[in-house]
């Protein structure tokens, strides 16, 4: 396990102790324990449960990237469908 610092929105900030402790002292960061060997983009701090969440937990980096691409494609398709539905609703009025 490693110490990691997150901003007050729960997004990864820095793994560096000196700058991280300075941010914590200034009230701009949260200090938490995160798993070793996980890229920062996969980490987030859950403000309600006060634990570090790992995106695609249990998967290696390649698996997490594949899941991210899949999730992004699903989100893009949903957004496109919502825009299409909104246009259709506007034309029906």
* C-alpha distance across the termini of the chain, in Å: 57
Which two three-digit tokens encode residue 25?
């002292």
Task: Give the tens place of pLDDT for each residue, 66-92.
Answer: 999 999 999 999 999 999 999 998 988
Distance CA(21)–CA(24), nearest Å, equals 5
> And the tokens for 64?
């997490």
Is the overall model pTM greater than 0.85, yes or no? no
Domain positions in the chain: 1-55, 57-93
Q: What is the pLDDT of residues 28-49, one digit of tens each?
A: 999 999 999 999 999 999 999 9
């Amino acid at each position: 396990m490693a110490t990691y610092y997150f901003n007050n929105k729960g997004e990864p900030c820095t793994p560096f102790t000196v700058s991280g402790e300075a941010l914590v002292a200034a009230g701009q960061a949260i200090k938490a324990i995160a798993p070793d060997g996980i890229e920062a983009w996969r980490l987030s701090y859950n403000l309600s449960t006060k634990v570090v969440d790992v995106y695609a937990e249990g998967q290696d980096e390649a698996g997490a990237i594949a899941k991210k691409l899949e999730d992004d494609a699903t989100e893009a398709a949903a957004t496109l469908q919502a825009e299409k539905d909104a246009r259709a609703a506007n034309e029906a009025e």
